[in-house]
Structure 1
């Protein structure tokens, strides 16, 4: 059973990584009993590694972690912004919304290298 307000993360230490393996097995492998997921003396990581998941399940797993990485980046940026050390997200340094849109257009949409 998955409990708590968030999914475990594979990039947060050994214990949380094991919880992540367990969660992925519970969510993406067909099962009725615990023994369908893993043997009694097997780790969740070992059970996960020997399981073949469909491409769709692997894609969802990857996207779940991308969301966490985006949240981490947002939090890091917020700390820098509050400390006055963050670079503007859009070229041009801020100002009116039209200036930001013009800067975005000039920086990205008219860049022949993109």
Structure 2
């Protein structure tokens, strides 16, 4: 967090006429961490002024229609699309990830469900592509 961020946060109560007279593009909205967060003095969250597409590193989100990956699928969706601070916010101690997703699915926004459906559609397209490629190879 630099001086500009601190200035922005301290001027949150500035009058509207002062903000209208500022030159340049509008500031990106900034949000401080909660007081109990260990990095409250060094970090903050800043909302982008333009949309960005996140790129996830690591293993891909599993398919929802495979029973052997259902727990990993549920855990991935909960961690990505449900707000949480500790693991118990996502899944109780004596609960499966599948049951946790079922009980918390109302916390996932409609927009997020569309993204989840697109992820599943991407899996299905890859499967169809692989099947078609195998068919072409066997016919050749």
Fold-level match, TM-score > 0.5? yes
Q: Which runs of 5+ in 2 are unaligned?
A: 1-55
What is the TM-score normalised by the length of structure 2? 0.55
Distance, in Å, in 1 between the alignment partners of 2:131 and 2:109 is: 34
Q: Pairwise CA RMSD of aligned residues?
A: 1.8
**Residue of structure 2 equivalent to 1:23:** 76
Deviation at 1:9, TM superposition (A): 1.5
Task: Confirm whether residue 34 of structure 1 aligns to residue 87 of structure 2.
Answer: yes
State the 4+ residue runs in structure 1 displaced beyond 3 angstroms: 2-5
**Residue of structure 2 equivalent to 1:9:** 63
Deviation at 1:70, TM superposition (A): 0.1
Distance, in Å, in 2 between the alignment partners of 1:83 and 1:63 is: 30
Q: Which runs of 5+ in 1 are unaligned?
A: 86-114
1:62 corresponds, among 98, 107, 117, to: 117
What is the TM-score normalised by the length of structure 1? 0.67
Deviation at 1:4, TM superposition (A): 3.9
Task: Confirm whether residue 47 of structure 1 aligns to residue 93 of structure 2.
Answer: no
1:72-99 CA-partner distances (Å, limit 9, x unpaired): 00000001001118xxxxxxxxxxxxxx
Deviation at 1:3, TM superposition (A): 7.7
Distance, in Å, in 2 between the alignment partners of 1:64 and 1:24 is: 11
2:89 match: secondary structure: helix
Count, aligned residues: 83
